[in-house]
Amino acid sequence: MIDMKLIDESPGGFLAAACVFVYATVLTETWMITTTSIAAMVGTFLLIIVLACVLTRTVLALMGPEDHPDAPAPPAPAKDAAPARAATPARPPVPVRPHAAH
């Protein structure tokens, strides 16, 4: 489990690491544009995808599970409850008659 040690002990260090992350990505994209290589473009896109996945996974791990400890437990269904009745139509259906050809 990832703890928030870097954020807690050094908020400035965390911001510096975030800036390095962003500017390195921007510089890599700039390099990709200046080179006319398809391989550089593919490599840059793969790098961006991998970094986005790692960043997302890290943030989700920092946030913890979705279960909130203070949330009330959902009510248990009653065992004596009568089964739900099917809804009955408010009025009987009207029969459809075929139209006569004119």
Task: For residues 39 and 31, give the distance between their C-alpha atoms in angstroms, rounded to a whole number.
Answer: 12
| C-beta of residue 37 within 8 angstroms of C-beta of residue 45 | no
Residue spans of the domains in the chain: they are 5-62
Q: What is the pLDDT of residue 1?
A: 44
Of the candidates 30, 49, 50, which has an alpha carbon nearest to the alpha carbon of residue 40? 30
What does each of the 102 residues of the chain score in pLDDT, given as a tens digit?
456 666 777 778 878 888 888 898 889 889 988 988 899 899 989 988 998 898 888 878 777 777 666 767 777 766 766 666 666 667 777 788 777 766
pTM confidence score:
0.51
Write out the two tokens for 9: 């002990």
Q: What is the pLDDT of residue 90?
A: 72
